[in-house]
Amino acid sequence: MIIVVKNSCDEKQYNNLVEWIKGLGLEIHESRGTHSTVLGLVGDTSKVDIDLISSLDVIEQVQRVQEPYKNANRKFHPEDTIIEVGGHKIGGDNFTVIAGPCSVESESQIIEVAKAVKQAGATLLRGGAFKPRTSPYAFQGLKDTGIELLLKAKKETGLPIVTELTSINHLDLFKDVDIIQVGARNMQNFELLKEVGKTGKPILLKRGLANTLQELLMSAEYIMAEGNCQVILCERGIRTFETMTRNTLDLSAVPVLKDKTHLPIIIDPSHSTGVAKLVSPMSLASVGAGADGLIIEVHNDPQHALCDGAQSLNPEQFATLMGKIQTILPIVGKLYN
Ligand code: PEP
Ligand code: MN
């Protein structure tokens, strides 16, 4: 349920209203706007008498929210959420590019790629240390050493780092990580979602291979229900019958999610296509669709990458793409951040 309170409501009336709602055992999500304040009520709202609240002078509107996601719902929080990471803004009118290799492979590799993507204008560095692989015999990542190397690259370049958490047992290693990624395969690992919800760190939540947008929003809700509202959604392609691409990029996810939620939405053109030459056109299409950013795999030597070389751009290709993105951003009214 949402209650829209007029800004003419004085502090005493407002506090009385809030206390009364809390007394019903409900949690309140407050969003202050210039003309009104939206109170989002989370919990069993069946005890709330809509007619009684609507009759108060200071109330503009009371509405039941049918969707099962509450904190993530744009009705609860009409303005875009903007998440700040290392001086960069994600969401709203800002556009962000996260770039780096699929996996951290060595100190020289991650430092070289970090410097190259920074030079081309990326604002955050990605790199997998714990890799969820389909085969148990495939490279599983450098694990804690991978995190240490990412931190070295961060120190060297100043780029904040994004890396995937695959198990709550590794959480201690992530204290200096700027954004924790929850990968597609863990989108519905509810225990993991609850734990990252307790960290207070921004979370990059990737859509599962076969999950609906509503399920993605419900997973965001798990994180937010723990008090962490810094969730960045990521469309990374879904399973369809198509075999010419690794997955099918569902670009309509961007305008649909923009309508349903206030959370930032970024696109992963690398995992969604699986083909390096498709990364640039789909990145530009993502800008056109209104995405808040991109996460792109870049490798200094894609042919010899230990993971996802076929979809990785080399630094030159990435720099060319960044130039094109910068050219079209003003057309969609976004600022590079
Ligand atoms: C990744 O970002 O390296 C990754 C494994 O992504 P996804 O979870 O989308 O497959
Ligand atoms: Mn990858």
Predicted confidence at residue 314, as pLDDT, reads 98
Nearest atom in ligand 1 to 102's CA: 3
Q: What is the torsional sign of CA 272, 278, 280, 282? A: negative
User: What lines the ligand 1 site, CB under 6 Å?
Assistant: 102, 128, 132, 183-185, 206, 236, 268, 271
Residue 272: CATH number of its domain: 3.20.20.70
Q: Residue 299: pLDDT above 90? A: yes
- For residue 219, the model assigns a pLDDT of 98
Q: What does the alpha-carbon distance between residue 317 and residue 12 come to, in Å, rounded to a whole number?
A: 59
Q: Tell whether 39 and 92 lie within a shared domain.
A: no
Q: d(Cα 242, Cα 275) in Å, to the nearest integer?
A: 14
Same domain, 54 and 105: no
d(CA 321, CA 327): 10
**Is 89 found in the same domain as 57?**
no
Query: What was the pLDDT predicted at 143?
Result: 98
Mean pLDDT of the chain: 96
Residue 235, beta-bridge partner list: 267
- pLDDT at position 337 is 85
- The long-range contacts involving 63-68, CB below 8 angstroms and separated by at least 24 positions, are 63/1, 63/2, 63/4, 64/1, 65/1, 65/2, 65/40, 67/214, 67/217, 67/260, 68/214, 68/218, 68/221
Q: What is the CATH number of the domain that holds 20?
A: 3.30.70.1140
What are the structure tokens assigned to 334, written together? 């976004």
Statement: residue 14 has pLDDT above 90: yes
Of the ligands numbered here, which is closest to the C-alpha atom of 183?
1
My answer on whether 210 and 244 are in the same domain is yes
Residue 72 lies in a domain: no
Ligand 2 geometric centre to CA of 298 (Å): 10
Do 167 and 285 sit in the same domain of this protein? Answer: yes
Q: Where residue 35 falls among pLDDT bands split at 50, 70, 90?
A: confident
How far from 56 is each of 45, 62, 117, 226, 276, CA to CA, in Å?
18, 11, 56, 32, 59
* Domain count for the chain: 2
Asked if residues 196 and 219 have their Cβ atoms less than 8 Å apart, the reply is no
Residue 34: what pLDDT?
85
Could you tell me if residue 68 is inside a domain?
no
Q: With 90 as the cut, is the pLDDT of residue 46 above it?
A: no
Is 71 within a domain?
no
State residue 47's pLDDT score. Answer: 83
Q: What is the pLDDT of residues 151-195, one digit of tens each?
A: 999 999 999 999 999 999 999 999 999 999 999 999 999 999 999
Looking at the fold, whether 49 and 161 belong to one and the same domain comes out as: no
Q: Does residue 317 fall inside a structural domain?
A: yes
Last residue of a domain, one of 63, 94, 115: 63
Per-residue confidence (pLDDT) for residue 217, from 0 to 100: 98
Least confident range from 3-7, 109-113, 180-184, 209-213: namely 3-7
Ligand 1, atom 4, residue with closest C-alpha: 183
Q: Is residue 70 part of a domain?
A: no
76 occurs within a structural domain = no
Do residues 146 and 198 both lie within one domain? yes
Confidence of residue 276 (pLDDT cuts 50, 70, 90): very high
- The answer to whether 188 touches 221, Cβ cutoff 8 Å, is no
Residues with CB under 5 A from ligand 2 (ion): 102, 308
94-105 mean pLDDT: 98
Give the range of the structural domain holding residue 6, as residue numbers without chain letter.
2-63
Cα of 75 vs centre of ligand 2, distance in Å, is 34
**Residue 332: how many CB atoms within 10 A of its CB?**
13
Position 33 confidence tier, pLDDT thresholds 50, 70, 90? confident
Angle between the N-to-C axes of helices 315-328 and 107-120, in degrees from 0 to 180, rounded to the nearest 10: 30
SS (H, E, C) 309-326: HHHCECHHHHHHHHHHHH
Domain shared by 149 and 250, yes or no: yes
pLDDT bucket at 203, cuts 50 / 70 / 90: very high
> Is 117 contained in some domain?
yes
Residues 47 and 187 in one domain: no
- Which of left, alpha, beta for 318 (phi over 0: left; psi -120 to 50: alpha)? alpha
Specify whether 136 is located in the same domain as 9. no
Whether 198 and 312 share a structural domain: yes
- State percent of the chain over pLDDT 70: 100
Same domain membership, residue 158 and residue 14: no
Identify whether 229 is part of a domain.
yes
3-state secondary structure of 20: helix
Dihedrals phi, psi of 257, to nearest 5 degrees: -65, -35
